[in-house]
Structure 1
Amino acid sequence: MNWSQVINPFNNITLSAFVAVIPILFIFWALIIKRMRGSKASLIATGIALFIAIIIYGMPVKLALLSAVNGALYGLFPICWIVITALFLFNITVESGQFEIIKHFMASVTSDRRLQALLIAFSFGAFLEGTAGFGAPVAITAAMLVGLGFDPLYAAGICLIANTAPVAFGSIGIPITVASQVSSIPEMAISQMVGRTLPILSVMLPFYLVVLMCGLKKTKEVLPAILVSGISFAVIQWACSNFLGPSLPDILAGIGSIISLIAFLKFWKPKNIWRFPNEVSTSITGKKKYSTGQIIRAWSPFILLTIMIVAWGLQPVKEVLNSFGQIEFKFWGIHNVILSADGKLISHVFKFNYLSAAGTAILISAIIAIPLIGLNFSDGVKIFMLTLKQLKFPVITVTSVLGFAYLVNDSGIILTLAAVLANTGSLFPFFAPVLGWLGVFITGSDTSSNALFSKLQAVTATSIGVDPVVTVAANVSGGVIGKMISPPSIAVAAAAGNLVGKESELFRFTLKHSFIMLIFICFIVLLQAYLFSWMVPGYHLLTAEISYINYDLSLGSRYLLVLAIILIIFMITIKLIKNRVNKKPVRKAQYD
């Protein structure tokens, strides 16, 4: 027996919206006012959402519970799987002592905290977002900054804020691909529209980050480096999104920004080296020298990560891996049972792609790296178990928030709020990014937000005479701003920065900046809708028929063979370097 979603349970959209927003307002209250632990706040919010879904929206108890369980399962895999493996890779680097060499390398490039934040949080984080996505960029970059000596709260907060502009093109462009499938607008057109919005933010973001760290006066001291970092990233992001499509902007822009800034720092240095006030003096100086081989060996886990993630992102490789390592099943009791507002059955299919998941690529990278950086596999097992212990509360937070997200989606609660925004008439383009922001805040994923709202964005824009690509792209662009305050992202950043239990502080740190950037994007979209129509690309809507590409599995197999050869050559190279190293780095690690 089917159950139909309810959007306006009180037959009064204002009253219905007031009730629908209660669990969301609770999250804000719990984290900002009550300063509640993230895991506790998310569990209570899920309980409130269950009550509203069952009592107010009339959702059957069984469906409500199954919806929450389905979301929690998605939170465990692939999201928590990525975060666990990413922090595991970082932890083995620390435990082996190789991160001490990375510290010295970063100090040799620049010991200025402002520039280190640009290189790692902004540029390297963007690269990781383009390859792995989900929680990996924040998990790895926040942990790296803390390892370099950054204040944990600032490290986590800066990485969350930096991980905005890249999110739209994250995980090989999947968010835009999903928006295209749902809205019937070609993904190239959406990519071009987003690529004419976010580069504006990308130019400003490095400046914003540094001002946040040290104030305007100290920011002026490194303005040339900020311009190099931001402009190089924005230009490459714009060019790739407009001429190559949504798959490569983050990867190429991240690499280009890193190379540009490092090259620039060879010829220019700030007059004053800035560190955090009252920062404890570290032993990192320019006196201790490491060979190029030692530096390559220290970075080897992250080089392996890059190679593996890029290979895992290739569709032919995914096809081969899924043919051997994927379990797909229809979620019992809820699949094709709920009727959406437009009368379509909502599918609930869980794909356990344990081989092609990005988390598996990260784990393989870590396993290969273990002997290369001077550890044995028994050490690796111990570090993995310590990593699981380190992440026990963030895992609870992520799974409960995803259960909450699935529940508000399936019950129609989130559609009530969307209906209110859709009724704003000619002002809808201004509020279109808010819808994407809200979707990412709840789900933690720009992809999920686009799947949820892209059709509504397109239909509403058409009804008021605005080109639908403007509002669909606004959903994508607005969504990236919601990432920094999304409870799953907060949980990941807190875990990486040793701030478990202090999620409320991190939420308070990022909230204001999320609102500032959101309003900025809202005004840009409003101008694009009515004044800057020349920015809107030309396109034709996709036909209703969807063509599926049948990939040749032999092509994926050849790619994997090439990958294996590259990995073997790399391992031999690192082994040769290791044999030349006379002194082993001192092991040092700390887990909470």
Structure 2
Amino acid sequence: MFNQPLTPVAGSLPLSFVIAALPIVVVLVLLGIAQRPAWQASLAGLIVGLVIALGVWRFPASLALAAVANGAAFALLPVIWIVVNALLLYHLAAAAGRIDAFRDWILVHLPDDRRSVLVVVAFCFGALLEGIAGGGTPVAITSSLLIMVGFRPLEALTYTLIFNTTPVAFGGFGVPITVLGAVTNLPTVVLGQEVGRQLPVFSFILPFYVVALYGGRRSLAAVWPMLLVAGGSFALTQFVVSNYVNYALTDVLSSLVSLIVTVGFLKIWRPAHDPDYAIASRIRDGARHETLSPWSAWLPWVLVSAVVIAWTVLGVFLIGDVKIPWPGLHKAVFITLYNKPYAAIWDFQPLGTGTAILLSAVIAAGLMGVGPRGFARAVVATWQQIWLAMLTVILIVGLAYLMNYSGMTYTLGLGVASLGLLFPLVSPFLGWVGVFLSGTDAASNALFGNLQVVAANQLHLDPVLIAATNSSGGVMGKMISPQNIAVGVSTTALKGREGVVLARTFVHSVVFTLLVGILLLVQQYIIP
């Protein structure tokens, strides 16, 4: 059995901390400064991690390869399997004209007011897409829709990125929480409940914040009733579902409730007409109501929501569920800090959420009239869009597992714990960095979730609260993630302007992450 060393570099914690952090630094520098693609930065980080794990931590090569393979398997199923099938559904909807029909629905059923459209599409509908899939899908779809109704590409992408934050922790039917539980050995239900106590505060604020950025105080005064309804209904449902129903359903139910309530509210209350925020007449004149009913745009999204909710409630995902001890790794590592063996179990669910989404895509294709050739073209389009993102997630999660099992993460945790009482203020920024690096809250939780628990235990803080904050703080890094920005840029004719988008979202990202840290301080020391 391999015993994890905590201070392998000259017996010094500071030196060991610096060396253990090098793989993360490499990814950060290559991605954020050298502007290399995410998969290249992740590959370089993994290579550096392997060199340090083998050469400094003296982690046996067989265990190192087994750890990376275990992480890759987890990345493929369930994480990537969910995203792939969700993007397939999107491409099928586009092939059937449902995306154009969605624009028509917006023009027919929402006020002639871009501020209202921004909240309904980017916040309410974007959260639904995040709940179903995540992985950049909400940014790609909602920014494109906003441009179709008159938003400038840069502003459409900027506001979509800011909105794509608070739903992220429960995205892909709760995958980030599932990952967090897997790497920390903490109960996922309890983690989901804690995250669901933190993020509703920001979910309520978010519509007000974005509309203030877009239209200033004048717009807040004009549309505040709608903002109150949209943010309040989402935040309340987010809290109730995550704490009392099922964390995997949090985003789907919160977004559906907010969407239905907000659209219903806009049927009985509409903001006063403001020419500065009206939708251009040429766009309204271009609606193609004669081809498809605007309501048909909702078919794929309502279908997948219904199927996956039923799938989860009926427990279909448990059929064929097998928990596989990973060969050569399970209990082959001894956690020195905790004085216990390290389990390595892969939860193989052939009928998991991704399979439910695939079934929804097949049914939707039939209902929308997409034949075998159209389905095949959608599969090809999905693969072309997702394969590099798949590689990135596999590499970054593989690095996370390598750092966890070799003991590098525990060394980092010991080092961060030296901050003492100030650690809770820094804790959310670890998650923030993780999402910036990887583009997903799930990968950030894999990379830093265990580190947070290690630090919390050393400081006698609540490990569940600190681990949950990794996810809550991480979502604020979503708006500056190069991977997320790249997906949006590829669909908004902003190629080459990634740096401009990053500059427009960076300060907002830091401010929200700092607020998460302040909330954590209050939860830990004032209102336990």
Asked whether the two chains share a fold, i.e. TM above 0.5, the reply is yes
1:3-62 alpha-carbon deviations (Å, 9 max, x no partner): 222332222222222222233233332233222222222222222222222223222333
Q: Choose which of 373, 392, 398 in structure 2 pairs with 1:397.
A: 392
Bigger helix fraction = 2
Instruction: Determine whether 1:209 maps to 2:210.
Output: yes
Counterpart of 1:162, as a letter, is F
Closer, same or farther in 2 for the Cα pair 1:97/1:177, shift >3 Å?
closer
1-side partners of 2:388 and 2:187: how far apart? 40
1:552-584 alpha-carbon deviations (Å, 9 max, x no partner): xxxxxxxxxxxxxxxxxxxxxxxxxxxxxxxxx
Closer, same or farther in 2 for the Cα pair 1:227/1:304, shift >3 Å?
same
In the TM superposition, what is the alpha-carbon distance from 1:520 to its structure 2 partner?
Answer: 0.8
Which segment is superposed worse, 448-457 or 12-21?
448-457
2-side partners of 1:39 and 1:436: how far apart? 19
**Structure 1 counterpart of 2:231:** 230
In the TM superposition, what is the alpha-carbon distance from 1:388 to its structure 2 partner?
Answer: 0.9
**Structure 2 counterpart of 1:197:** 198
1:326-365 alpha-carbon deviations (Å, 9 max, x no partner): 6x644333333222232433333334423x2222222221
**Structure 2 counterpart of 1:345:** 341
Closer, same or farther in 2 for the Cα pair 1:13/1:154, shift >3 Å?
farther
1:159-181 alpha-carbon deviations (Å, 9 max, x no partner): 44323323444555676678789
**Structure 2 counterpart of 1:48:** 48
Secondary structure of 2:340's partner?
Answer: coil
Secondary structure of 1:269's partner?
Answer: coil
**Structure 1 counterpart of 2:524:** 529
1-side partners of 2:253 and 2:91: how far apart? 27
Q: Choose which of 362, 367, 373 in structure 1 pairs with 2:368.
A: 373
Counterpart of 1:519, as a letter, is L
In the TM superposition, what is the alpha-carbon distance from 1:376 to its structure 2 partner?
Answer: 1.2
1-side partners of 2:111 and 2:402: how far apart? 47
CA contact (8 A) 2:53 2:403 kept: yes
Alignment of 1:282-293 (within 5 A): 283-285=283-285, 289=289
Q: Choose which of 405, 428, 439 in structure 2 pairs with 1:433.
A: 428
**Structure 1 counterpart of 2:450:** 452
1-side partners of 2:178 and 2:37: how far apart? 35
Counterpart of 1:295, as a letter, is P
TM-score where L is the length of structure 2: 0.83
Closer, same or farther in 2 for the Cα pair 1:140/1:265, shift >3 Å?
same
**Structure 2 counterpart of 1:299:** 298
CA contact (8 A) 2:2 2:332 kept: yes
**Structure 2 counterpart of 1:123:** 124
Closer, same or farther in 2 for the Cα pair 1:393/1:524, shift >3 Å?
same
Aligned length: 521
Alignment of 1:102-501 (within 5 A): 102-108=102-108, 109-110=110-111, 112-130=113-131, 137=138, 141=142, 145=146, 158-170=159-171, 193-213=194-214, 221-241=222-242, 244=245, 246=247, 248-266=249-267, 267-269=269-271, 271-272=273-274, 283-285=283-285, 289=289, 294-314=293-313, 316-320=315-319, 322=320, 329-341=324-336, 342-354=338-350, 356-438=351-433, 444-446=440-442, 448=446, 452-453=450-451, 455-456=453-454, 459-460=457-458, 463=460, 470-485=465-480
CA contact (8 A) 1:405 1:442 kept: no
Instruction: Determine whether 1:89 maps to 2:89.
Output: yes
Which segment is superposed worse, 226-235 or 150-159?
150-159
Closer, same or farther in 2 for the Cα pair 1:88/1:191, shift >3 Å?
closer
CA contact (8 A) 1:86 1:362 kept: yes
Secondary structure of 2:211's partner?
Answer: helix
Counterpart of 2:523, as a letter, is Q
2-side partners of 1:223 and 1:39: how far apart? 42
Closer, same or farther in 2 for the Cα pair 1:376/1:148, shift >3 Å?
farther
Secondary structure of 1:339's partner?
Answer: strand
Counterpart of 1:269, as a letter, is P
CA contact (8 A) 2:169 2:471 kept: yes
Closer, same or farther in 2 for the Cα pair 1:391/1:154, shift >3 Å?
farther
Secondary structure of 1:336's partner?
Answer: coil
2-side partners of 1:64 and 1:382: how far apart? 39
2-side partners of 1:503 and 1:346: how far apart? 41
In the TM superposition, what is the alpha-carbon distance from 1:502 to its structure 2 partner?
Answer: 7.7
1:385-438 alpha-carbon deviations (Å, 9 max, x no partner): 122123232222222222222222222223322222222222233233344445
In the TM superposition, what is the alpha-carbon distance from 1:89 to its structure 2 partner?
Answer: 1.1
RMSD value over aligned CA atoms? 3.8
